[in-house]
Homo-oligomer: A and B are copies of this chain.
Amino acid sequence: MINAMINTLSLQDTAELIREALSSRRFIVMICMCEAQYIGRARSFLEKGERLIVIKEDTSFLIHRPTELEPVNWQPPPNHISISLGENCVILTVRRVRKPERVVVKIYSFKGFFSDKLSDNGSFHMHLSEKEISEILRKHPELIEDGFRIVSTEFREKAGIIDVLGVDAKGRRTIVEIKKDKAGKDAVKQVLRYVREAGTGVRAILLSPNITPEAEKMLRKNGLEFKKISMLELSRIITYEEHSESSMSRFLRGE
């Protein structure tokens, strides 16, 4: 629900509008003339001015000024948020539930108002494909282990495609399986298939940003190993090498 005519409403009606949006846990955006006080881990006061106020569906609270990346005032969820009427203003009180902190905002007039349920089911990935990861590892085998030597990548076996095949510092043949997301039991079973086909005396390392407790138990029981890799670090390597190989302007221009 969008209300472009908010400035024609009375203070009472405005307060009621916000109260209703809050009680139905809608996402609220206000562009308004306001002042704000914070008391908690520190104290602050923000004099009157026009700002963006955001109240999210989980009661996350933000006040943004017209410039600067960071909010000038904020409250992490969960919060208790209440509305009341002051002199010529609507008073918004935002209290954190788990800590003694509060922001009190006096809103004098509105330039914009929006409130609605937002539908956002899209997931967020810090992404690198498994192929990209194995390419990085081929260039930087030390990320697997010091002294590691890669023999081949994407090696086709009957049991499936082995991401990385190599030899460790002690000369042992080693299978490396990459998972770009948290590894579960399926990943461990997959590695087990490879190991059983490869025969005895073969090491196996599961590389992923994380592993479930169940999967780790199964992995240990079967003498496999797990090594954590950081997607952030890997993507930094990619970015860095893109820059040295190609000009920065090409990178900045686009894909």
Residues of A within 8 A of B (CB): 2-4, 27, 29, 31, 35, 37, 39-52, 54, 56-58, 60-62, 64-69, 72, 74-77, 86-87, 93, 95, 100, 102, 104, 106, 111-112, 114, 116-129, 180-181, 231-232, 235-236, 238-239, 243, 246-248, 251-252, 254-255
Contact = CB atoms under 8 A, between A and B. Distances in A.
A90 to B, nearest CB: 14
B49 A57 contact: no
Which of A40, A75, A235, A246 is most buried by chain B, counting CB atoms within 10 A of its CB?
A235
A118 B45 contact: no
A126 B51 CA distance: 18
24 contacts: A27-B66, A29-B29, A29-B31, A29-B52, A29-B112, A35-B122, A42-B127, A42-B180, A42-B236, A42-B239, A43-B128, A43-B235, A44-B125, A45-B248, A45-B251, A49-B120, A50-B119, A56-B66, A66-B117, A66-B120, A86-B254, A100-B251, A106-B251, A112-B116
